[in-house]
């Protein structure tokens, strides 16, 4: 590397570290949606349709970044909210970004906070192909409740079983690469913290619970 190349490199570096390898993961945009009901703000939450991925779980509106429709994950979060809940875009007010969450399953969640300016929730035009139901919980209920905490173990598996043949499929050829034997077996045992809020008959957990927890911490 020559001196002039180092100067070019310096110009392309940031003062703060960014997330490397983002393109190797599923990038999503989620809107932590608020509505003003009975003189206080509520979280607007969805129960996913049973037939779709993660069916029956509780979440905020959001989805996978689509480069053909979205310039960034902020637009993803807004687009998905409009599609899932039928809220006109002009009645959504984005008030800021909460942050980025890297999940144990390898997805990157860019979370934003927004307010829907509706007179009442009956104005929603729910997309029932994705959303089974919509309900609200006052933000204050979470401010007075500590989440339950559980742990799961995340490990790296260099091979898997082919479901069609039952044979082992090598994903990472550690032996062929001359790496230590320990990498031919599952390795790592990182603890993954799972937060759970029990709200009456509703169980809010996982990514949704973590986003609520992080927002409450900032309040």
Residues 73-125: pLDDT tens digits?
A: 999 999 999 999 999 999 999 999 999 999 888 899 999 999 999 878 888 99
Helix, strand, coil distribution of the chain in percent, nearest 5: 25, 40, 35
Q: Are 32 and 218 in contact (CB under 8 A)?
A: no
Residues 198-208: pLDDT tens digits?
A: 988 889 999 99
For 27-66, b/e burial (b = at least 16 CB within 10 A) is: bbbbbbbbbeeeeeebbbbbbbbeeeeeeebbbbbbbebe
Q: Topology of 23-144+201-218 in CATH? A: Nucleoside Triphosphate Pyrophosphohydrolase (3.90.79)
Task: Give me 199's structure tokens.
Answer: 């709200």
Number of CB atoms found within 10 A of residue 97's CB: 14
pTM of the predicted structure, to 2 decimals? 0.89
95, containing H or E segment: strand 92-102
């Amino acid at each position: 590397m020559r001196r002039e190349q180092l100067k070019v490199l310096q110009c392309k570096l940031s003062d703060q570290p960014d997330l490397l390898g983002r393109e190797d993961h599923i990038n999503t945009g989620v809107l932590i949606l608020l509505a003003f009901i009975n003189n206080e703000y509520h979280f607007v939450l969805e129960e996913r349709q049973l037939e779709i991925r993660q069916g029956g779980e509780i979440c905020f509106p959001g989805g996978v970044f689509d480069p053909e429709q979205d310039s960034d994950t902020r637009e993803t979060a807004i687009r998905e909210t409009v599609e899932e809940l039928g809220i006109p875009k002009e009645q959504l007010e984005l008030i800021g970004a909460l942050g980025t969450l890297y999940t144990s399953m390898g997805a990157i969640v860019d979370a934003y906070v927004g307010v829907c300016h509706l007179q009442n929730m009956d104005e929603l035009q729910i997309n029932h192909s994705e959303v089974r139901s919509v309900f609200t919980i006052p933000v204050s209920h979470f401010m007075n409740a500590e989440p339950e905490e559980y742990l799961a173990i995340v490990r790296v598996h260099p091979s898997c079983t082919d479901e069609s043949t039952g044979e082992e499929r090598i994903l990472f050829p550690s032996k062929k690469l001359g790496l230590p034997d320990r990498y031919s077996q599952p390795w790592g045992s990182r603890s993954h913290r799972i937060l759970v809020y029990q709200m009456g008959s509703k169980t809010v957990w996982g990514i949704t619970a973590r986003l609520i927890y992080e927002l409450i911490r900032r309040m």
